[in-house]
Structure 1
Amino acid sequence: MASSTVTSAQPERPPRPNLAFRRLRGKRSPAEFAAAIRRAAREIGERVSCDARYVGRVEAGEIRCPNYAYERVFLHMFPGRTLTDLGFAPRSSVRGRQARGTGESWEAGEPYKTHDTRDDRDSRDTRNNRNNRDTQDLYETHDNNEESDVLRRAFMTSGATVAAASLSPLGLALDAAAAGRPTRRAGTGEAGALEEAVRRIRLLDDRHGADGLYRRAAAPLRTAYALLDAGASRQATADRLYTGAGELAISVGWLAHDSGRFDDARSHYAEALATARMNGDAGLEAHAFCNMAFLARDAGRPREAVRAAQAAQRAARPLGSDRLMSLLSLREAGGWAGLADRVGCEQALVRAQTFYGRGPSDTDPEWMSFYGEAELEGLEAQCWSTLGDWPRAARHARRAADLQDPHFTRNLALYSAELADDLARGGRPDEAAGAGLRVLDLLGEVQSSRIHTMLAGTARVLLPHRRSPTVSTFLDRHGALPRPA
């Protein structure tokens, strides 16, 4: 990776803060307000993955007008008010305005034009959104500067078949880069789209699992590092590109990890770690070590898992995020469990619970949006399962499945598969088969080698109990599954 060359640029007109929206938040933290927005969305059947960063961008005035999904949620939360009352500009005043950048064509000659971040909006009409909810809702979650014209086409899903297209629409042609021809420097538009690409992959993985995504994710990652080689117009943009490329490498590494491609995952995580250290990014370093610890545990290298988790905690300590320290303590606990060190595991679990109990904060990384009480329970269940305490593991796995938001199908299937396996190994075959059947019901929407592997292990444990009608039904349905490629 070559370091980005930074040149001077004219300063951009700063956005006007949205003070009305800030007043509506009141004494709640951005993370707490984002959680309230997500709850309101569920009340009216919308799905938005609002986080503290999105709230901050609205309050800073970077989002002049929300997309249609957010508009419906905000008007539901604050009945009787208009978008203008909430501090937003009228949609008619931002629609159709374009930035000063030069557009380039991609895919069947369709022109692509960069939108100015100050004039960001979703230009789709309400009728299209309602008629195509399954496909469109993935693009309603953030109102970033490239979303309307690029990322909606770059990441598309139909059921469990996911097409993750290249990021080449950002204005960087991969074939030109491969041929050695110079490419233009990256700007804030490319950095924003790269960040949004990471969010898209994470959201698609949460809903559908990794198997359908991994093969298509390499092209965006190549483009991200090509953007670094091309350089950036400003140091701040270069920093965003480094962080975005590193986070994308971690996301692609996780897709490999969850698909059972451990060597590929190790390579991607190492690439992210190198990127973090090259740019002095402690948050990215902690994230990379976090995932390396998880991978080491799954790959049967528990001592490496402990050391990676401890390295992650050293990197994360100055960041001030208790939730991040909680997750990293759980990663360490998983390593101690793999070493059959019950005392070490229990001590790490107590630290994880203590950190978690301190609550969320504005310093929590955006990528940790998946980490809630359900994930904490699920990871603790895995620790007790590794230690062979099946009843305790089953209790935590059941709580995880009960707490999980049903929109995130992949995690719901994962926790239910963990529950089925713990029940089977704990001598409760009928309950295990029932939980296994619930996982099978979800596999039409989820593609995860990890879950298939867990179910296969549960099926082997349940074979001696085939005379039970419930167990027999589970084994027959499991046996009829197509084998993952």
Structure 2
Amino acid sequence: MVGNPELRAVMADLGLTRADLARLINHELVALGCPGTLTVRTVATWLSGQSRWPQGRIRTALQRALKRTPEQLGFIPPRTTRSRVLPEEPVLRRDLLAASAAAALPTAITSRGQAVGHTDVDRLQESLRALTALDDHRGRHGSLEAAALTGSEQALGKVERTISDSVRRRLYSLAADYTATAAFSCIDDRRLDDAERHFETALRLAGLGSDHVTAMRVFNCLSMVGYQRNKPGAALSAAWAAQNAQASRRDPLLASLAHARAAIAHSTAGDRQAALRCLGQARDALGRADGRERPTWTDFYGPAELFALSAVVHQHLGNSAEAESASHRALAGISPQFRRNRASATARLALAQLGQGEIEQAAATATSVYVLMSDDQLPPRLRTLLGDFHRGLITLAPTSAVTREWTDRIRAQGEAQ
């Protein structure tokens, strides 16, 4: 036998070091009324294959700790013991000692069922990726928030069955990410009170999971909430928190996104110099970004999305030509998988064209938003942008044929939806 690959694989999946496993087994030995004196060196002999079958009480403690039989852990019993069961302590004394000691043990050690490992977390992570892809394509829809909250509950429901800190942190982090996804769906639906409530929960869970990236995501989204509430001060405070988050200090891409949010907040407040300065900082930081692995929610952000956010800044500053140019560059680079973002950039392009008096072109561009989103219902956040366009068109050319045609079209779209 060359080593014990089964035990090694289980330890890796559960996130256990040799010292962790020795500690867990010693807890169980104490619960069985035995001295907890197992050493890391003994675990090393198991992994190397030098020891192929643990002794009686240690074997029982190992099985209790990992919720698996010795054979499932790759151990091979001696021939003389394969057909008989070794005598154990009297049941009454063993159970009494176990009951008294269990109260002092972590819940995860004494819970029933097989311990949760990294493989279980990976499966939940795949479901989150699917939800994120759906959000990228369609935006807010009826079941996304509920599905995300269900995923968070499933992750939290597994916390009590973990026996390692690394798996426990991953579960809290995943629950935070699921909850933040639910909150973002509320932003798209313009249910901002619900969004803030979910973000508060997500931030707490991110802290429990030591997840600095999701914490930054929360602050970034809270800046969006401040923007939608037309509260530049709140939007700027959240953007500053995103800039100062540990994840942003470590990752230029996240820092770039935080600077872009600050630029939007400054532009909303009418601070041209600060807004343009923040845009420059966002471009500089993005130029330093590398290809490291990141959560799927960050996939939307890159040069094209920065152009889209720049268009928002220029629109608020009254730079319609610059906003149109930035929107065109955004649409040239935003991937088709981010259909909702492409639709938003298209609506911004229509607003920029309208700001330059290009009524017919602007109406045609705005109409293409409906074509892009096909038969899917427009998220309220996108409908709000088109509502801004509608009011602007009526103000600019209230009696034109273009305005009448546009009004008839959106009325028909509204009835269809």
Fold match, TM over 0.5? Answer: yes
Q: Is there any run of 5+ residues in structure 1 with no aligned partner, and where?
A: 1-8, 16-99, 103-180
CA deviation after TM superposition for structure 1 residue 471, in Å = 4.1
1:223 to 142, 145, 154: 154
Amino acid at match of 1:310: W
**After TM superposition, where is structure 1 displaced by more than 6 Å over at least 4 residues in a row?**
181-184
The Cα of 1:219 is off from its aligned counterpart by 2.6
In 2, Cα distance between the equivalents of 1:319 and 1:343?
Answer: 24
RMSD: 2.9
Match of 1:460 in 2: 391
Partner of 1:345: 275
Match of 2:9 among 7, 12, 35: 12
Cα deviation, residue 254, structure 1: 0.4
- CA separation in 2, counterparts of 1:334 and 1:317? 21
Match for residue 82 of structure 2?
none
Aligned ranges for residues 256-271 of structure 1 at < 5 Å?
256-271=186-201
- Which of these two proteins has the greater Rg computed from alpha carbons? 2
Tell me which residue corresponds to 2:406: 474
Q: CA deviation at 1:189?
A: 3.4
Q: CA deviation at 1:468?
A: 4.6
User: Is the CA contact (8 Å cut-off) linking 1:440 and 1:478 kept in structure 2?
Assistant: no
Alpha-carbon spacing, 1:339–1:185, altered in 2? closer, same or farther (3 Å): farther
Task: Check if 1:207 corresponds to 2:204.
Answer: no
Shift of 1:417: 0.9
Q: Output one character per residue of 1:128-169: Cα deviation in whole Å (capped at 9) or x when no partner.
A: xxxxxxxxxxxxxxxxxxxxxxxxxxxxxxxxxxxxxxxxxx
Q: Indicate conservation of the 8 Å contact 2:243/2:249, yes or no.
A: no
Q: Which runs of 5+ in 2 are unaligned?
A: 1-5, 13-65, 69-110
1:162 maps to none
Change (3 A) 1:307 1:237: same
Instruction: Give the Cα separation in 2 of the matches to 1:393 and 1:293.
Output: 21
Match for residue 388 of structure 1 among 318, 321, 327: 318
**Aligned partners of 1:449 and 1:484 also within 8 Å:** no
Q: Give the drift of 1:270.
A: 1.3
Give runs of aligned pairs for residues 145-294 of structure 1, distance below 5 A.
185-217=115-147, 218-228=149-159, 230-294=160-224
Q: 1:282 to 1:352 in 2, by over 3 A?
A: same
In structure 2, relative to structure 1, the CA distance for the partners of 1:183 and 1:287 (3 Å cut) is farther
Aligned to 1:164: none
User: 1:313 Cα shift?
Assistant: 1.7
Q: TM-score, normalised by structure 1?
A: 0.59
Residue 360 of structure 2 is matched in structure 1 by: 430
Where does 1:318-329 land on structure 2 (aligned, <5 Å)? 320-329=250-259
Identity of aligned residues (%): 26
> Can you list the C-alpha shifts for 1:106-142, whole angstroms capped at 9, x where unaligned?
xxxxxxxxxxxxxxxxxxxxxxxxxxxxxxxxxxxxx
**Residue 481 of structure 1 aligns to a residue in which SS?**
helix
Deviation at 1:274, TM superposition (A): 1.1
Say whether the 8 Å CA contact 1:394–1:423 is kept in structure 2.
yes
Question: How many residues of Structure 1 are paired with residues of Structure 2 in the alignment?
Answer: 314
TM-score, L = length of structure 2: 0.68
**TM-aligned CA deviation for residue 338 of structure 1:** 2.0
Cα deviation 1:301-342 (Å, max 9, x = unaligned): 211221211112222357531111111110111111122111
